[in-house]
Each structure stands twice: as C-alpha cells, then as structure tokens.
Amino acid sequence: MPIPAPNLYPPFNIVRLSHVEYCVTDLSASRAFYVDTLGLQVTDEDDIRIYLRAMEERGHHCICLVQADKAEVGALGFKLFDDSDLDAAARFFDEKSLPVEWVERPFMGRAFRTRDPWGIPLEFYVKMDRLPPIHQKYKLYNGVKPLRIDHFNMFSADVDASVAFYNEIGFRVTEYTEDDESGKVWAAWMHRKGGVHDVAFTNGTGPRLHHSAFWVPTPLNIIDLCDLMATTGYVTNIERGPGRHGISNAFFLYVRDPDGHRIEIYCSDYQTVDPDLEPIRWALDDPQRQTLWGAPAPRSWFEEGSTFEGADTTESKMTAQPIIAP
C-alpha cells in the first residue's frame, strides 16, 4: 500500500505528543528508576501517583506513574492548538463512532479521552499547568539529563491502516520500511512537531506500546547512563545499544523500567518542518535501517511491548522479519 500524501489541513491541529500514563506495580521502584537513575524531575506525588517532567519542559508532566496491580499503559497524551481544535477533535472521534469521554485531570484544563480504531487510549487537551523553567538550573541535572519527551512507538497488526488513520488527523510520514515482496509497510515514522516522529508504528502483535523516548543533549549522556546503570544494579535493564539508527539517524539506547516498560534514550535526529518533505523509503532487508552501526536488535525488541489498558491485541498476519541478533 502506498504511503498516503500528507494531509496538510487536518480536521484539528495537534501540536505535539505530550505525556504518557504508565501503570506500575511498585511505585517506589519506579521512582528510583525514573528519578534517581534517568533523572526526571518530580512535580507532584502522593501514595498512588508520581508526576514527572524533563529539564526543558514547562508543562507540569510528561509521565504520570500510577500504582496498579498490572503493568500497562493508561493513555498517550497529545496537546492541541486551542479550544476550537479540542471541540473539533471530539466531534471527529464521535463521528467515527469512537468513544469520547470528557475527563477531569489534575494539572490540566479541558480534556477528553478516546481510543483510536484499534483501542489505543488517547488523551487530548489544550492547557496544562505551566511551571517555572529549570533548564538552566544545572545542579538539578542528573542521570541521562533528559530534556524532553520525544516520541511514542507502537506495535500495530496493520501498519498501513495505522498510517492511514494517523495521516487523516495530520501526522506526516518522514521515513518508512516497506516489504518488497508484499508491498506492505512494515514500519513508519510520523511527526507533528518537526522532528522525525511523534508517533511510529512497527509491525507486530498490537496494539501495544513498544517504547516512549526522551531526547538528551549528546551521545555522551547515553554513555554516562550505561556506566550509571551498570554500577547501580540496572545492568540487565539495558536491552539494546548504544548505537545509531539508519532510520532517523538517531543515537540511541533502549532500557527497561522495573515493570518492563521500554524507554528509548535518543538524540541527533533531524528537522522535518517543510510540508513537502518527501518520506525516505527503506527496504526491510537493509541491515542499516534499524542499526546504521552497532549490534542488531535482540528478539525481545521485536516481540515484547506494553499492553494498553482496556485494549485487546491482534496478531499481525505479516510474516516478514528484519535481522534479529542471535
């Protein structure tokens, strides 16, 4: 299926991805990982929730950790341009016969939750409490020195269908992997904010969240995190990397939190602001698409992911497979 032409005038204006809600089984263990090891900043917490932001972010939070009996993902959040876009988005999902539930959220203004056609829980809003800047409070920089949340990557049982839907609401494809034999898209990267992606879709049993990613200042911060994790009891939480992707050109590291949620630490992709930017196509059998240099991805990277709360999964019928590490 061909990549759709970019929809430059979508029914509502998504500014960027915003936040993720992780359900975790041990809040104190998750706090130690995200705060003491990765270096995210606590903006509010109680016995059942911890709100976190990265160093450049002015919004109240980019992660909400919620104590739960089961590790899963509660919602993926997106910021819209203004209140008229919020109302337009609610109408759009309602007209698609997808659920629209207006919700009260701490530290946020008007917001609603919905699901995409495959059950991924989405949260849309316009205003979130603004906090004082901390990007020049260098004594607060710890761990990998995360600057901002960058993207979500989801497993999809039908990547072509996922791309078509998210294209309809204004996400534009920057790079994609196509299977030469079937002509189907195996993975695609789509953006709103002018980087390589806000969302990506990878072939597999879905919907599941493959990872959330955080932008860091330099590749050296990633090396520092490897040293830190290797000497503080987290060496086995390092899943893949460091290395450089062919797709996106990003320097990367993948780590797992105490519940197995995958986090990518990420830097060095490129600008994609131009509306007529042509997507870059990669063949599935090109070994440099996923790893320009570095060890190939392990099997866990292709097969394991976080389930979404309330969403049933479907096995992909696409059997094509890129290179897997032995």
Could you tell me which CATH class the domain 145-307 is placed in? alpha beta
pLDDT, tens digit (0-9, with 9 covering 90-100), for 57-115: 999 999 999 999 999 999 999 999 999 999 999 999 999 999 999 999 999 999 999 99
pTM of the model: 0.96
pLDDT, tens digit (0-9, with 9 covering 90-100), for 158-188: 999 999 999 999 999 999 999 888 889 999 9
The DSSP bridge pattern shows strands 101-103 and 111-115 to be: antiparallel
- Rg of the chain taking only CA atoms, in angstroms: 19
Percent of the chain at pLDDT exceeding 90 = 92
Is residue 204 within 8 Å of 22, Cβ to Cβ?
no
Question: Which candidate, 1, 322, 47, places its Cα nearest to that of 159?
Answer: 1
Task: DSSP for 165-210, please give it.
Answer: HHHHTT-EEEEEEE-TTT--EEEEEEESSSSS-SEEEEESSBSEEE
Interacting residues of 214 by C-beta distance below 8 A, sequence separation 6+: 38, 54, 144, 146, 147, 148, 149, 150, 263, 264, 265, 266
* Distance between CA atoms of residues 303 and 262, nearest Å: 12
Mean pLDDT, rounded, of the chain: 96
**What integer is the mean pLDDT of 26-39?**
98
Could you tell me which CATH class the domain 14-129 is placed in? alpha beta
Interacting residues of 40 by C-beta distance below 8 A, sequence separation 6+: 34, 52, 53, 54, 62, 63, 143, 146
Whether cis (ω within 30° of 0) applies to the bond prior to 242 is yes
* Distance between CA atoms of residues 229 and 40, nearest Å: 15
Start-end of CATH 3.10.180.10 domains in the chain: 14-129, 145-307
pLDDT at 42: 98
Interacting residues of 135 by C-beta distance below 8 A, sequence separation 6+: 55, 56, 147
pLDDT, tens digit (0-9, with 9 covering 90-100), for 64-73: 999 999 999 9
